[in-house]
Amino acid sequence: MRRFVFPVFLIIIFISMSAALQAGELDRFKGMSGTINIAGGTAHIPVMKDAAKNIMTYNKNIKITIAGGGSGVGIKKVGEGLVDIGNSGRKPKDTEISKYGLKLYPWALDGVAVVMNKKNTVNSLTGKQVRDIYAGTIKNWKEVSGKDKTINLYTRDAASGTRAVFWKKMLKKGDISSHANVVPSNGAMKVSVANDPNAVGYISIGHIDDSVNAPAVDGVKPTQENALNGKYKVVRKLYSNTRGEPKPLVKAFLDYIMSPEGEKFIKKRNYIPIK
Amino acid sequence: MKEKIIEKWLIISGLFTVSLSALIFLFLIYFSLPLLNPAVLKNILSLQWDPVHGKYGIMAMGLASIVLAVSAVLLALPIGLGISCLLAGLAPRKIARVGHTVISFMTSIPTVIYGFVSVFLLVPFIRNIFQKGSGFCLLSAVPVLSILILPTIVLLISDSFKNVPRTHKESARALGFTPVQEFIHVIIPSCKYGIMNALILGFGRAVGDTMIALMLAGNAPQIPNSFFNSVRTLTAQIALVLASDTQSLAFKSIFTSGLILFIIMLFVSIGSYIVLYKRDVKNE
């Protein structure tokens, strides 16, 4: 029995030391307390959740709430003082920045990719084809070398930063057909496209998984590498915005997201960290 | 003394509730006022919603709301009548009681559950069977909305059936009517106004529902001309546009959408009141 005491003792010390080492970036939260309310872009949520979980486990006096709603909601809520951090998947407009006195903290690069159902045989499109599909001039998959089936269009709601970027950089501000189905989040878009064999939609690259296909557009595959090296051009930064200077707890949270540990979370979700 | 206090309290509560509705109405009117100049009004009351090109017409949504609600009521009518007949006498007592409990329970199911389940079960079904479109269309939303308003309709109709004077039923029996004939020729005709009231209130509930339309109808801002069209109701419109930039005309059109919905509900209430009044007059 006594034989095991020392090794167990060593193991316990080792574990607590690794916890302490890991707590390096979390140290800034030592002794703090309060609540951080976050709302806005749905693309940011997975990273925010990872960070929040770590922080709340480390310091039980800190409470962090995270809500969605879209980039428009994020900017509005933080501007009106309803939340501490408003996430947006698009840069706030100059009018928004001046009206609310926003401070911008971009912390990742994310691309927006065209997605299709796994059963769809089409695996590449030209930018013009995407524009025509969304404008409604191309109505059938056979016009782009697919099956003879009507194309079911899916787009996002008005508040979506994902939509704003897709519209500006992929569709080049072209029309979106009034027949398109409107869904309210990246998650809802993924579910809709994954379940509808004739669907076409768009989601943040960080949200892409095995349930959907993301074809190459104009010869460039929508991966984070291509977003980083500039080959894939439909990209946007993920912003966290505050109204004026953030209070110390909020500043600590933002610093944490931009720290090496935060970068791990960002990479884990397939976004690209930026300073 | 206590009675006086209770009386005053009841009056205050009543006034409070009424004034709340009035205040909501005034709020909607107040925020719709800036939109009152003819050019803007013409834009908002038009059929095209295309904010990118400056078109903020919500009439297509109004049309969709009404078409959806009317269809749901029409579908719920025969089913609701049938169930009410069963609950009010055609089914054995025990089954009728169980049925009544089940229907009452259905009123407490959140609409988002109906929507959520239908997205995964009904929408692919519609898409595969008809092969027309994505499955997010009027045809998916109507039956689910009917199920939603069914308990309201059934409970109201059942109540009017129960309030048919015994003499009516006894005379019918004496004349040799079978139970079904009794319903068709005596009970239902005498509950004409009660049934109308149930349909009107069911319509009101259907027009005001947001989740089912938002999750199942597709939300394309176009005029519905087929049940396979993706449509957007006024309620879904408000939910979708609410998060937009508060300074834009798109956002301000929400208040007009709300106002139109409120006015529809006003007509629903007036309709219900008239129908019930007629019923009470007839019963005297």
Note the pLDDT of residue A1. Answer: 62
Mean of all residue pLDDT scores within chain B: 88
Compare A254 and B52 and report the one with higher pLDDT. Answer: A254
CB pairs under 8 A between A and B: 74
Note the pLDDT of residue B249. Answer: 74
Is any Cβ of chain B less than 8 angstroms from the Cβ of A229? no
Which of B131, B211, B240, B241 is the best residue to mutate to test the A interface, defined by the most A CB atoms within 10 Å of its own CB?
A: B240
Q: What is the mean pLDDT of residues B214-227?
A: 89
* Separation of alpha carbons B18 and A266, rounded Å: 52
Per-residue pLDDT at A123 exceeds 70: yes
Give the CA dihedral A210, A212, A216, A222, nearest 10 degrees.
-60
Contact between B55 and B61 under an 8 Å Cβ cutoff? The reply is no
Q: What is the mean pLDDT of residues B143-165?
A: 92
Per-residue pLDDT at A16 exceeds 60: no
Residue B243: band (very low, low, confident or very high) from pLDDT cuts 50, 70, 90: low
Note the pLDDT of residue B277. Answer: 87
Using DSSP, state whether B51 is helix, strand or coil.
helix
Note the pLDDT of residue A254. Answer: 93
Using DSSP, state whether B30 is helix, strand or coil.
helix
What is the secondary structure of B195-211 as a DSSP string?
HHHHHHHHHHHHHH--H
B chain contacts of residue A158, beta-carbon cutoff 8 Å: 51, 240-241, 243-244, 250
Q: What is the mean pLDDT of residues A52-57?
A: 92
Token couple for B139: 């045809």
Per-residue pLDDT at B111 exceeds 70: yes
Q: What is the pLDDT of residues A221-260, one digit of tens each?
A: 988 888 888 888 898 899 999 999 999 999 999 999 999 9
* Separation of alpha carbons B83 and B209, rounded Å: 23
Note the pLDDT of residue B232. Answer: 93
B chain contacts of residue A174, beta-carbon cutoff 8 Å: none
- Identify the DSSP state of A91: P
Is any Cβ of chain B less than 8 angstroms from the Cβ of A92? no
Is any Cβ of chain B less than 8 angstroms from the Cβ of A125? no
Q: Which residue has the tokens 């990209």?
A: A235
* Separation of alpha carbons B164 and B145, rounded Å: 29
Token couple for B283: 């019963």
A chain contacts of residue B240, beta-carbon cutoff 8 Å: 157-159, 182, 184
Relative to beta strand A212-213, strand A102-117 is antiparallel
- Identify the DSSP state of A247: P
Note the pLDDT of residue B38. Answer: 82
Q: What is the mean pLDDT of residues A157-184?
A: 89
A26-30, A170-174, A233-237, B122-126: range with lowest mean pLDDT: A26-30
Contact between A169 and A126 under an 8 Å Cβ cutoff? The reply is no
Per-residue pLDDT at A22 exceeds 60: no
- Identify the DSSP state of B32: H
A chain contacts of residue B52, beta-carbon cutoff 8 Å: 173, 175-176
Phi and psi angles of residue A42, each rounded to the nearest 5 degrees, phi first: -75, -20
- Estimate to the nearest angstrom the gap between the alpha carbon of B12 and the chain centroid: 29
Note the pLDDT of residue A117. Answer: 94
Q: Do B50 and A157 touch (CB under 8 A)?
A: no
Token couple for A37: 């309310």
Q: How far is B247 from chain A (nearest CA, A)?
A: 10
Residue B54: band (very low, low, confident or very high) from pLDDT cuts 50, 70, 90: confident
Per-residue pLDDT at A23 exceeds 80: no
Note the pLDDT of residue B244. Answer: 67
Residue B210: band (very low, low, confident or very high) from pLDDT cuts 50, 70, 90: very high
Nearest C-alpha in B relative to A76:
B245
Q: Do A158 and B222 touch (CB under 8 A)?
A: no
B chain contacts of residue A198, beta-carbon cutoff 8 Å: 134
Q: How far is B204 from chain A (nearest CA, A)?
A: 25
Residue B1: band (very low, low, confident or very high) from pLDDT cuts 50, 70, 90: confident
Q: What is the mean pLDDT of residues B208-212?
A: 93
Per-residue pLDDT at B220 exceeds 70: yes
Radius of gyration of chain A (CA): 22
Per-residue pLDDT at B248 exceeds 80: no
Note the pLDDT of residue B284. Answer: 67
Q: What is the pLDDT of residues A187-200, one digit of tens each?
A: 889 999 999 999 99
Is any Cβ of chain B less than 8 angstroms from the Cβ of A117? no
Note the pLDDT of residue B34. Answer: 78
Which residues, including other chains, have CB under 8 Å from residue A177's CB and lie 6 or more apart? A134, A135, A136, A153
Token couple for B116: 């959520």
Q: Whose CA is closest to A234, among A185, A184, A167?
A: A167
Note the pLDDT of residue A207. Answer: 85
Q: What is the pLDDT of residues B5-37, one digit of tens each?
A: 999 999 999 999 999 989 988 988 888 887 778
Note the pLDDT of residue A73. Answer: 87
Note the pLDDT of residue A9. Answer: 65
Is any Cβ of chain B less than 8 angstroms from the Cβ of A200? no
> A6-34: string of b/e by CB count within 10 Å (b at 16+)?
eeeeeeeeeeeeeeeeeeebbebbeeeee
Per-residue pLDDT at B283 exceeds 80: no
B chain contacts of residue A184, beta-carbon cutoff 8 Å: 214, 239-240
Q: How far is B220 from chain A (nearest CA, A)?
A: 5
Note the ipTM here. Answer: 0.73
**Is this model's pTM higher than 0.80 or not?**
no
Residue ranges of alpha helices (H) inside chain B are 2-32, 38-44, 59-85, 93-106, 111-130, 138-162, 166-174, 179-182, 188-190, 192-208, 211-216, 234-241, 249-283
Note the pLDDT of residue A36. Answer: 94
Q: Do A182 and B220 touch (CB under 8 A)?
A: yes
Note the pLDDT of residue B90. Answer: 83
Is any Cβ of chain A less than 8 angstroms from the Cβ of B226? no
Helix B192-208 and helix B249-283: axis angle, to 10°? 170
Residue A7: band (very low, low, confident or very high) from pLDDT cuts 50, 70, 90: low
Q: Do A152 and B232 touch (CB under 8 A)?
A: no
* Separation of alpha carbons B46 and B35, rounded Å: 13
Is any Cβ of chain A less than 8 angstroms from the Cβ of B50? yes
* Residue B241 half-sphere exposure toward CB, CA atoms < 13 A: 29
Q: What is the pLDDT of residues A69-95, one digit of tens each?
A: 888 889 999 999 999 999 998 889 888
Compare B55 and B210 and report the one with higher pLDDT. Answer: B210
* Separation of alpha carbons A254 and A29, rounded Å: 12
Least CB-CB distance to A179: which of B48, B124, B220?
Answer: B220
Token couple for B174: 């004496």
Least CB-CB distance to A196: which of B134, B241, B245?
Answer: B134
A chain contacts of residue B136, beta-carbon cutoff 8 Å: 181, 192
Residue B169: band (very low, low, confident or very high) from pLDDT cuts 50, 70, 90: confident
* Separation of alpha carbons B204 and B195, rounded Å: 14
Per-residue pLDDT at A10 exceeds 80: no
* Separation of alpha carbons A268 and B209, rounded Å: 39
Contact between A186 and A162 under an 8 Å Cβ cutoff? The reply is yes
Q: How many of the other CB atoms lie within 10 Å of CB of A96?
A: 21
Task: Give CA angle at B214 (B213, B216), nearest 5°.
Answer: 65
A chain contacts of residue B229, beta-carbon cutoff 8 Å: 179
Residue A168: band (very low, low, confident or very high) from pLDDT cuts 50, 70, 90: very high
Compare B131 and A127 and report the one with higher pLDDT. Answer: A127
CA distances from B181 to B17, B49, B80 (A): 44, 51, 18
Mean of all residue pLDDT scores within chain A: 88
Q: Do A150 and B133 touch (CB under 8 A)?
A: yes
* Separation of alpha carbons A43 and A204, rounded Å: 7
* Residue B208 half-sphere exposure toward CB, CA atoms < 13 A: 15
